[in-house]
Amino acid sequence: LTVSHAFHSPLMEPVLEDFRAVAESLTYHLPRIPFVSTVTGDTVSDELTTAAYWTEHIRKPVRLTDALTRLPAATHLEIGPDAVLTALGPAVAEDAVFVPAQRRAQGEALELVRGVGRVYARGAAVDRAAFFGERGGAWLDLPTYAFQRERYWLDPTAPVGDVGSAGLTPVDHPVLSAVVPSPDSDGLVLTGRLSVATHPWLADHDVLGTVLLPGTGLVELAVRAGDETGTPHLEELTLQAPLTLPGREALALQVVLGAPDATGRRTVTVHTRPEDTQAAWVRHAEGTLTTAAPAPGFDLTAWPPAEAVPLPLEGVYERLAGRGYHYGPVFQGLKAAWRHGDDVYAEVELPEDARAEALRYGLHPALLDAASHVDLLDDAESTLLPFVWSGVSLHASGAGALRVLLRRVGGDEVTELRIADAHGRPVATVERLVSRPVAREQLAAPAEDLYRFGWLPGPAAHAGSGAELPALDEVSGAPVGDQDGAVPPYA
């Protein structure tokens, strides 16, 4: 654990006497529920009312394994300022559920409600009156029918229409709907729309409290656009602004392909703005597409690799949530991982209900995003997001499960990926993925304008005769009219 002092070790001995003096000044009471001690690894009672026990507690090692083994409960609630033991518990009690009451740098009230909700769902009794206190809490009547897991809600659908009658060519894609030639160059513009109402899986990508399209979604859009012009290889794509999704409102989307240069390369940019408005377009990514795509050059049919060491993934998404990655079910795709030297191998997959839609993508953004989740399982506390993608080639489409090889090639923030399907056949190559730390303010910034128009009082206008102003011919150096006063025609 990353801590400020060497707690529970001989290095605490210099403070023991001072600590004991403080502990002896307190009034103790016997616990009203069974208490299992991490000092003894067994149940204790009278010992808890002595200063000697608590002095020994900060000196002795933590017998967490013995204590958890002694506990009969299947659900554990960690009461503390952060999810410290929650991440360690599953290694001891695989079948138990560990729930933190708080997470560092997260909203206290929201995390507490989440924790209480989880233990309640596991069958724990909750004193609602004590929990809500003066806030009250409204009781709601639930539907009277028996819950049989039947949905009674209408599925939202995207607006449909005949794009051909509007002079557009339809595109078979879940997000992009039409393509039109650029009027002033040999380029193309692909149009579409984004909304969590019509694409509910987007709501599962919550980073630092903001729902946004993952960088993999921008990559998929760029590669799909390149298919229209025979330039499917994404040489580079730089992410310039996060594509945040405003509630259930829709965003108009454009992917713009430039004219080819002498080598056949085309620029690609991705833009959005709120639908049905005249707001300025926001550019989210810019890159280059080429025709030349290298052969895969890798083989992942032998799986997992010989001598690879399995990595523990218990509570992996709870740990990532502590760093700001609040992934929903569609993005919780990491299922297994191994390490072999400097290489990391992973298995990722989509939920069954998302696999049908994956057939319409080159590579589903949630699946490609999950391919890099194992690379986030280090000791860093920062939240990283993709910044630059280089050398992206798609070798096959429609995958619902992947095998992934990750190799760090430039420190903790530069990775290359080799991606295959569940049988080891190549699906995609990413030569270089550069990530950068991101702060909560950077993702929330689009919601607030940095500049606003405002009217300020100014000095009264100077009332002059106009004689002090220069004549127009003095300013331009050209006559205003001919001798008859006629203004010459504009040329």
- State the pLDDT at residue 483: 43
How does DSSP assign 262-289, residue by residue?
TTS-EEEEEEEEETTS-PPPEEEEEEEE
Do both 376 and 281 map to the same domain?
Answer: yes
Is residue 193 within 8 A of residue 158, CB to CB? The reply is: yes
- State the pLDDT at residue 178: 92
Q: Report which secondary-structure segment, H or E, holds 214.
A: none
How far is it, in rounded angstroms, from Cα 365 to Cα 367?
A: 5
Q: Is the pLDDT of residue 154 over 50?
A: yes
- Residue-wise pLDDT for 112-140, tens only, equals 999 999 999 988 888 888 888 877 777 77
Task: Tell me which residue range forms the domain holding 78.
Answer: 10-135
Q: Is 321 helix (H, G, I), strand (E, B) or coil?
A: helix
- Residue-wise pLDDT for 319-375, tens only, equals 999 899 999 999 999 999 999 988 999 999 999 989 988 999 999 999 999 999 988
- State the pLDDT at residue 158: 55
Do both 111 and 257 map to the same domain?
Answer: no
Q: Is the pLDDT of residue 209 over 50?
A: yes
Taking Cα atoms as reference points, which of 377, 375, 353 lies closest to residue 364?
Answer: 353
Q: Which amino acid is at 254?
A: Q
Residue 149 lies in a domain: no
Taking residues 145-157, report their average pLDDT: 64
Taking residues 57-75, report their average pLDDT: 89
Do both 241 and 312 map to the same domain?
Answer: yes
Do both 118 and 26 map to the same domain?
Answer: yes
Residue 248 lies in a domain: yes
CA 345 to chain centre: 21
Query: Which CATH number characterizes residue 102's domain?
Result: 3.40.366.10
Taking residues 21-48, report their average pLDDT: 93
Residue 474 lies in a domain: no
- State the pLDDT at residue 185: 78
Do both 107 and 200 map to the same domain?
Answer: no
- State the pLDDT at residue 467: 53
**Residue 288: both structure tokens together:** 């280059």
Q: Is the pLDDT of residue 141 over 80?
A: no
Q: Which amino acid is at 214?
A: P
Residue 38 lies in a domain: yes
Residue 392 lies in a domain: yes
Q: Is the pLDDT of residue 156 over 70?
A: no
pLDDT band at 484 (very low <50, low <70, confident <90, very high): very low
Q: Is the pLDDT of residue 318 over 80?
A: yes
Do both 437 and 297 map to the same domain?
Answer: yes
Taking residues 12-23, report their average pLDDT: 94
- State the pLDDT at residue 40: 94
Do both 118 and 205 map to the same domain?
Answer: no
Read off φ and ψ for residue 225, nearest 5 degrees. -65, -40
How far CA 178 is from CA of 122, 165, 168, in Å, comes to 47, 12, 6
> In the chain, pLDDT over 90 holds for what percent of residues?
54
How far is it, in rounded angstroms, from Cα 333 to Cα 216?
A: 14
Query: Which CATH number characterizes residue 419's domain?
Result: 3.10.129.110
Give CB contacts under 8 A, 24+ apart, made by 76-79: 77/101, 77/115, 77/119, 77/124
Residue 326 lies in a domain: yes
**Domain C-terminal end among 135, 164, 197:** 135
How far is it, in rounded angstroms, from Cα 403 to Cα 399?
A: 11
Do both 355 and 427 map to the same domain?
Answer: yes
Our count of domains for the chain comes to 2
Residue 336 lies in a domain: yes
pLDDT band at 232 (very low <50, low <70, confident <90, very high): very high
Compute the chain's Rg from CA coordinates.
31
pTM: 0.60
Do both 113 and 206 map to the same domain?
Answer: no
End-to-end CA distance of the chain: 78
Kindly state the greatest CA–CA separation across the chain. Answer: 115
Do both 218 and 365 map to the same domain?
Answer: yes
- State the pLDDT at residue 7: 84
Q: Is the pLDDT of residue 161 over 60?
A: no
- State the pLDDT at residue 262: 92
Taking Cα atoms as reference points, which of 105, 76, 98 lies closest to residue 325?
Answer: 105
- State the pLDDT at residue 293: 78
Is residue 48 within 8 A of residue 63, CB to CB? The reply is: no
Q: Is the pLDDT of residue 38 over 80?
A: yes
How far is it, in rounded angstroms, from Cα 53 to Cα 40?
A: 10
Residue 332 lies in a domain: yes
Do both 345 and 427 map to the same domain?
Answer: yes
Q: Is the pLDDT of residue 163 over 60?
A: no
Do both 116 and 188 map to the same domain?
Answer: no
